[in-house]
Amino acid sequence: MREEKKPLVQIEEKLKELIPFKKIKIQLEPQIGPFRPDFIADVVFKNLNFKIVGEIIEQESSSLFRDSLSQLKSYVMHRPELVPIVIAKYLSPQRREECKKEGIYFLDLSGNAFLQYGEGLYIERIGFPNRFPEVRKGRNPFSDKACLIIRAMMREKKSWGVRELAKKICLDPGYVSRMFRELEKHNYLARINAKAKLKNKIEVLEDWINNYDYKKNMEFKYFCLAKGSEDILAKLKKFNIPDKIKYALGFHAGAYLISPHAVFNEVHIYVSDRESMDFFVNKLNLKPVGQGANLILLFPYYKHSVFYDEQKIKNLWVVSDIQLYLDLYKYPLRGIEQLAAPLIAGNDVRKTCQMKFGKS
């Protein structure tokens, strides 16, 4: 028998508040097999009597969300008299669509609801904003240092021991061990004897994208005298950039070097320190501007991890494919369009991740 899940709220009260049932009686179902739903409720609505079976979604993890849908769907296949529903504080439009696609009804405490039973009950309320913005607790697996673990495990399809991975990414083994436990909580990690392997990579990247904000980088905007962005890249290729200058191209310029695809007007360069920044300012004779910038130097907020797995392309350093994905996914100036070049798979994040990084 699994440990009881603490409900988000008193389920009976909220169901009555959000859906006009005459009567609701919550009961716990004995566990049969590996799965037991969070609750089953006897419901009376007008002249209808039926049972709903529900799962409470308490974490933002895409992997755990999809596991809940899959288990609930499987459960009602053997008990077709039950009406499946998921309950959460808030379900995004994408997650509401996923519920509908899987034949699962939903209700969130922000006011969104979808429930149907026979011809006598049809409720659909959508468009309510999130009333419960997430306050992140515990260790953030997508923080600067922690995401080094994900980057390394995405890069190499293998199982890792704690000390082996810690040595690879130059982190303390104790820290890596603690983050392994955090990744397990989010259903991102599978233990194999004394080693661990990243699983559900598509869901990991989706959650990472939602967590990442390129605006946290510190921007310094400049104008470079050049015919266009390609001319700026040509100038950079001609320089003898010393090894001590730590830099990497990101965003559109980095993606363009991997596979030219879209027209863009700005070249973004991550730099590690003031010396590296001054090198480019002086070499390119850059002029600081408020508007009309065509070259942007960035002090990364991912200062430990942004240069991880950087790649040398056409004599210039470019950030990793994963970092390009993070940079461009929400970038307003044709970011999604440019993603189609280095990460061919169209605009759908799941297909893109599946194509580039694989399922396992």
Per-residue pLDDT band for 22 (boundaries 50, 70, 90) equals: low
Pick 214-357's CATH classification: 2.60.40, 4.10.860, 3.40.50, 3.30.460.
3.30.460
Q: Is 207 left (phi over 0), alpha (psi -120 to 50) or beta?
A: alpha
Assigned CATH for 11-125 = 3.40.1350
Evaluate if pTM is beyond 0.75: no
Beta bridge partners of 160: 196
Where is pLDDT greater, at 334 or 262? 262
- Give the tens place of pLDDT for each residue, 226-244: 999 999 999 999 998 999 9
The CA distance from 178 to 113, in Å, is: 37
Residue of 339, 318, 341 lying closest to 328 (CA atoms):
339
Residue 6 burial (10 A CB sphere; 0-12, 13-18, 19+): exposed
Query: Region 133-139: what's the mean pLDDT?
Result: 65
pLDDT at residue 345, as a whole number: 32
Instruction: Compute the C-alpha angle 256/253/202, nearest 5°.
Output: 70
Q: What class, spelled out in words, does domain 147-199 have in CATH?
A: mainly alpha
Beta bridge partners of 106: 86, 114
Give the chain's mean pLDDT: 83
CATH 1.10.10.10: which residues of the chain? 147-199
pLDDT at residue 114, as a whole number: 92
Residues 6+ apart with CB under 8 A from 135: none
Residues 6+ apart with CB under 8 A from 51: 40, 41, 42, 43, 81, 82, 83
Cα–Cα separations (whole angstroms), residue 9 to 35, 95, 226, 263:
22, 21, 60, 50
Q: Which residues of 289-315 are buried (b: 16+ CB within 10 A; e: fewer)?
A: eeeebbbbbbbbebebbbbbebeeeee
CATH 3.40.1350: which residues of the chain? 11-125
The CA distance from 64 to 261, in Å, is: 36
